[in-house]
Amino acid sequence: MKTATTEPLSPPPNPFALLARSRKFWVAISNTFVTLLLYFSGIYWPAHAEEVKFVIAALQLPFGILIITITAEDVMKTYAESKE
């Protein structure tokens, strides 16, 4: 009869440390920073408000694609590790 061995559980990882190492988090933070910077520049220079709105809208797609690409890389890496 096989006896079960119990191994001590490791403590859960610190979610803030994981977040600080996340590429997706830093891309989202930089997107927010750039968007807010452009938004407030449009408020202080209303003559350029339409251009600012265009640039904000144009930047959302590349940031979104970058986050999706990083997610796909992470999924493929996890899948490859699970196959080993």
Give residue limits of the domains in the chain. Answer: 18-79
Please, what's the b/e burial string for 7-36 (b: 16 or more CB within 10 A of its CB; e: otherwise)? eeeeeeeeeeeeeeeeeeeebeeebeeebe
Q: Give which of 66, 59, 77 is closest to 26, Cα–Cα.
A: 66
The CA-to-CA distance between both ends of the chain, in Å, stands at 29
pTM for this entry: 0.72
pLDDT tens figures, 3-52: 666 777 888 888 888 888 889 999 999 999 999 999 999 999 999 889 99
Q: Mean of the pLDDT values across residues 62-75? A: 92
- Cα(46)–Cα(66) distance, rounded to whole angstroms? 30
